[in-house]
A and B are shown apart, each in its own frame.
Chain A
Amino acid sequence: MEINGVHIDETFAEAFPMKGTRALITAQNLEWAYHSARAMTGFATSVIACGCEAGIERELSPEETPDGRPGVSVLFFAMGGKALAKQVETRAGQCVLTSPTSALFAGIEEGKPVPLGKNLRFFGDGFQISKKIGGKRYWRVPVMDGEFLTEEFTYQVGAVGGGNFLILAESQPQALAACEAAVAAMKQVPNVIMPFPGGVVRSGSKVGSKYKALNASTNDAFCPTLKGVTKSQLSPEIESVMEIVIDGLTEEDIRRAMRAGIEAACALGAKNGIRRISAGNYGGKLGPFHFHLREIMA
């Protein structure tokens, strides 16, 4: 299969079940909502060492937020419900409670509860005030800039993590330009995040390592500088490979995001040095979700 001169490999991305949740952060203006959201979703690129994968899903207009102020929605993904709850609560406490003018609300209304203000309220030292509004409990915690308003819980759902595709290009700037175009297109798709910096990973990994202490190491088959010394999957003209990893609330969300991203990358085409689209998998034995590139792009 070729799109605009870009070869689509006959392979698939392999993804895993995760637990996911959404929170809404509002503030006096969008800038301060972003300050809080970026802090809350910082250092959350991979569950391997970050505890969760998180990112900003989209901006919210005042009409879309519970308190009528501008805001952003953020998504969190972890391997289990307990890990997710711990990460969300810790990050809410350190990054939203602390952020001037912020308020924090649930972004998912059904499922198992994930505490937002349930325990953060104790920061109020007895001066915190509970308000049950429309069947939901909110906490008003007195803070130095006024009051921190937070919903007691958000809710978790089953989710999918680790959807991905690789962009193989003739040069590093060309690979990055294609990734930027792909991420911009994928950000228009709801219910997904690309958790790595700018949505792009340059250090894709394989399972295992020659070092016993590590359980993942560089994906040498896709490292262009190793083309001549390892069992490479790269042809001579490929000089740079970058990966986009996608976490989504459902399989269908990831499929939509992959399609949008691959379409945007292929739009640049072979004339801009984009040569191949591939995907990362572990032979299909580890993750139950398989995203076949050619099926998605058919």
Chain B
Amino acid sequence: MLTLTLKAEPKQRVDLSPLSGAPHLTVAEIAALKVWSGKKTLRMDELFQIEGEDTSRWVIRNANAKLDCIGKDGEDLDITVEGDAGAYLGMGLRSGRIRVTGNADLFAGCEMRGGLIQIDGNAGDFLGAALPGNKRGMRGGIVLVKGNAGDRLGDEMRRGIILVEGDAGDYCASRMIAGTVAVMGSTGRYLGYGLKRGTVLLWQQPAEMLPTFGDCGAHTLAYLPLWFASLSDLDSRFAASESVFKRVRRYGGDLAAVGRGEILIRSAGA
């Protein structure tokens, strides 16, 4: 295991994306890596105290919200971030796992392709979304948030699963193309705005439903137990048997967009 301990809070935000190649680098090469911080470049060993030999697993200690792009475009990564992570956590991640013990900032898991991102705290806006101007958000893998998520969760998401144990902000699953967003807590305004396809799975009735969603009634869906079973390995309330249900009220929409999406709300007593 490689331990990277942040020596002090950086003055500027730090772009850690060069670190995603670390599994293929030696410890000396990692120490010499140059990363951008504001308008300057810094050597990794200027920012971090580096210990350990095994570069396939790393722990970032004393982390804070100025550390951006952790695990960006990475493959077969195994990262634990002790503390907070900055923006673009696991952006474009292809495989492996990233766990953050604190909070993550904007655009966590955006455009990710595979793997697992677990955020034990809260996530910022645009979780699993597309970058501004891009047309495809997250397209594979799982993002698990144990706290709350911000606005525009899953914006233009194409495939994969976003799980939020807490609340989600406004425009949850907006313009979503496909995939599944599941929220155990409350959801904000404009839920499923522009939803094309895909599933929004809710444990609680939303405060308001867009008029462009049609009530399709209560149903027992056979696929839900299978879907829950696929989450059984997660360290999450989603893996608990008491969280499993298959009786839902189904709303189809957004009929102002493609309209093939669905919002499934756990039926009372299910």
Contact = CB atoms under 8 A, between A and B. Distances in A.
Interface centre among B222, B226, B262 (most CB of A within 10 A): B222
Contact of A129 (B199, B222, B229): B199
A147 interface: yes
Contact of A146 (B178, B219, B225, B226): B219
Given A126-B260, A146-B219, A146-B220, A132 B226 contact: no
Contacts of A129: 197, 199, 260, 262
Majority secondary structure, A binding face: strand
**What is the interface residue range for chain A against chain B?**
10 to 19
A127 B197 CA distance: 10
Contacts of A138: 223, 226
Interface in A239-266: none
Given A103-B222, A146-B220, A131 B260 contact: no
Contacts of B227: 131, 133
A154 to B, nearest CB: 16
A194 to B, nearest CB: 31
A140 B180 CA distance: 14
Interface in A48-94: 66-69
A147 B230 CA distance: 20
Contacts of A69: 222
Contacts of B221: 140, 146-147
Given A146-B219, A146-B220, A147-B219, A130 B178 contact: yes
Interface of B: 159, 178, 180, 197, 199, 219-223, 225-227, 229-230, 260, 262
Interface of A: 66-69, 103, 126-127, 129-134, 138, 140, 146-147, 149
19 contacts: A67-B223, A67-B225, A67-B226, A68-B225, A103-B222, A129-B197, A131-B199, A131-B223, A133-B223, A133-B226, A133-B227, A134-B226, A134-B229, A134-B230, A138-B223, A146-B221, A147-B221, A149-B222, A149-B223
